[in-house]
Amino acid sequence: MALELSGILDTPRDIVRSRLHGTARWSLRLLMTIEHHLEKRRSRRTLLELTDDELCDVGLTREQARAETSKSWFWS
């Protein structure tokens, strides 16, 4: 009976490996989220470099581009 239970229970090595794997997944998601927000920030700043004609082509006015650029890079 004891041998059967020991096969079911996790060893300390398995527990540590599982926790490290979970931490690695969480860290990767965090890095991907930050990268996504930074890309949005870069895209918004690019709007300021466009000419009025280029903004018109994408359907924005200069004021709309400024408003978009002034948004928080992280929260929106």
Q: Is residue 28 part of a domain?
A: yes
Q: Is residue 8 part of a domain?
A: no
Q: Is residue 26 part of a domain?
A: yes
For the stretch 4-39, what's the b/e string if a residue is b when 16 or more beta carbons lie within 10 angstroms of its beta carbon?
eeeeeeeeeeeeeeeeeeeeeeeeeeeeeeeeeeee
Structure-token pair, residue 53 = 């004609």
Q: Is residue 7 part of a domain?
A: no
Q: Is residue 65 part of a domain?
A: yes
Q: Is residue 25 part of a domain?
A: yes
Span 1-40, pLDDT tens digits: 455 555 555 677 888 888 888 899 999 999 999 999 889 8
Span 31-73, pLDDT tens digits: 999 999 889 889 988 999 999 999 999 999 999 999 988 887 6
Q: Is residue 1 part of a domain?
A: no
Other CB atoms within 10 Å distance of the CB of residue 65: 20
Give the structural domain span for 49: 13-73
| 3-class DSSP state of 11 | coil
Q: Is the Cβ–Cβ distance between 18 and 10 less than 8 Å?
A: yes
Could you tell me the pTM of the whole model?
0.61
Q: Is residue 47 part of a domain?
A: yes
Domain count, the chain: 1
